[in-house]
Amino acid sequence: MIVNKIIDLSLLHSNTIESVVIDEDIVFEKDFYENTDIQGFNFIHVAGYIKRSTEDDDIVNLDVNGEMVLLDSISNEEVNYPFSFKIEDSLTEILGNCPNTIDILELLWENIVLEVPLKFTTVEDFSKFQGDGWKLVSDEDTHKNNPFNEILKEYGEE
């Protein structure tokens, strides 16, 4: 399990090894996500490698999957949101000039942040979400009860 992971690339750069293999479970400290929409992580697993492609460049190829805990956009309850993505890129593109070390947590964090949805809900029964003069409706109900449906039919846009 990786909590703080700096990967040394000096053996790769000196052609002592062909690749740095990564197959680890990742843990992010709360500091990483405390000012974000993420409430926590159930798990994160990363598998892949870093290889030398040219004298001045390394290639990273990682498969990342996990499950983050977010607040439901409607019920405001904690819900699990699965995610997976692939990182395939040149480390020079990612880090600039290719250093002898890489902080794998920083690289992963930059990509995990992109996976956080703007809105996410697991609510299926909207009837529980109503009050005095208002109620939450689904997109389907909004389309059914649209007062402009007749006008849209005339223009063939429905």
Query: How far, in Å, CA of 149 to CA of 144, rounded?
Result: 8
What value does the mean pLDDT of the chain take? Answer: 84
Task: Report pTM.
Answer: 0.74
Asked if pLDDT for residue 23 goes beyond 80, the answer is yes
Helices first, then strands: H and E counts in the chain: 6, 8
Strands 130-131 and 134-135: antiparallel
What is the pLDDT confidence band of residue 4, given thresholds at 50, 70 and 90? low
Task: Give per-residue pLDDT as tens, 29-84.
Answer: 998 899 899 999 999 999 999 998 877 788 999 999 999 999 998 888 999 999 99
Smallest CA-to-CA distance from 62 within 93, 101, 22 is with 22
Q: Is 63 helix (H, G, I), strand (E, B) or coil?
A: strand
Asked if pLDDT for residue 22 goes beyond 90, the answer is yes
Asked if pLDDT for residue 97 goes beyond 70, the answer is no
